[in-house]
Amino acid sequence: MLRVAGRRLFSVSQRSTTNATSFLLSDGFGGGDQSSSATRPLPSADLDSYHRSSLVRGFSSQVLTQGGNEVGFGSEPATVEAVKTPNSKIVYDDHNHERYPPGDPSKRAFAYFVLSGGRFVYASVLRLLVLKLIVSMSASKDVLALASLEVDLGTIEPGTTVTVKWRGKPVFIRRRTEDDIKLANSVDLGSLRDPQEDSVRVKNPEWLVVVGVCTHLGCIPLPNAGDYGGWFCPCHGSHYDISGRIRKGPAPYNLEVPTYSFLEENKVLIG
């Protein structure tokens, strides 16, 4: 609408310019008879300045373009004309485009307070997100509770095996007899697939603590079974002896020995 209004005012200004020019030509710039004024031409400098002053007064939505010595309205949009042909004669109509004065300097403290408060809120939210991410990556309370397991050995009879759960895996605790200890130490290490002495796998010869997961495909072997009196995996036929060492079958390694320590004579801490 501003463009249409500008064009209408431009046509009105052209008409008024034509009328004013005719009046000046007929009047002869004030004075003289009509015969002399009709033959007296209007100075080109005055006419050009009159045209310029008439064209400058308009809406800011129209752009004054300068081509050679003439100044006029371009056919392209105002922003395009302003970029292509910048002109210092473009003026704004204060009645249609109100300009507000700059802010009150006395309110700078309030502005600084608002900006600082916003930045503090952003920093707090970022800190909270980082803490949430770190907490989500750490172990939960139930996992930390299972990190170590305390087992009472007083109820385990000689020659029997007890299975406990530690970190989601079964752990075999076997109380060995004297015959079991002698049998484990009498094995020729050269005949073993994964050679290990029995003294390396135990901290107390009476107690054997191993992870109850077959080293072949992760099955759970059966205690007190197999050809060597230790454990037998029925999935693929792996046999382990009384020290948890692989003696027969596809399993490549011995049963794993977890980290454990004796707190008391009849109490062990796994993990």
Q: Which residues are known to be catalytic? A: 236
Kind and range of the H or E run holding 124: helix 108-137
- CA 83-88-90 angle, 5° bins: 80
The phi, psi pair for 52, rounded to 5°, reads -65, -45
In this structure, which amino acid lies at residue 48?
D
**C-alpha–C-alpha distance, residues 149 and 171, integer Å:** 10
Q: Tokens for 51?
A: 């045209």
The phi, psi pair for 240, rounded to 5°, reads -120, 145
Q: Could you write out the three-class secondary structure of 184-248?
A: HHCCCHHHCCCCCCHHHHCCECCEEEEECCCCCCCCCCEECCCCCCCEEECCCCEEECCCCCEEE
Q: Which long-range contacts (CB under 8 A, 24 or more apart) does 161-165 make?
A: 161/223, 161/224, 163/212, 163/223, 164/270
Helix, strand, coil: what percent of the chain each, to 5? 40, 20, 40
In this structure, which amino acid lies at residue 179?
D
In this structure, which amino acid lies at residue 7?
R
Residue 59's alpha-carbon distances to 3, 6, 96, 116, 179, in angstroms, are 8, 6, 8, 41, 111
Query: Residue holding tokens 């500008």?
Result: 6
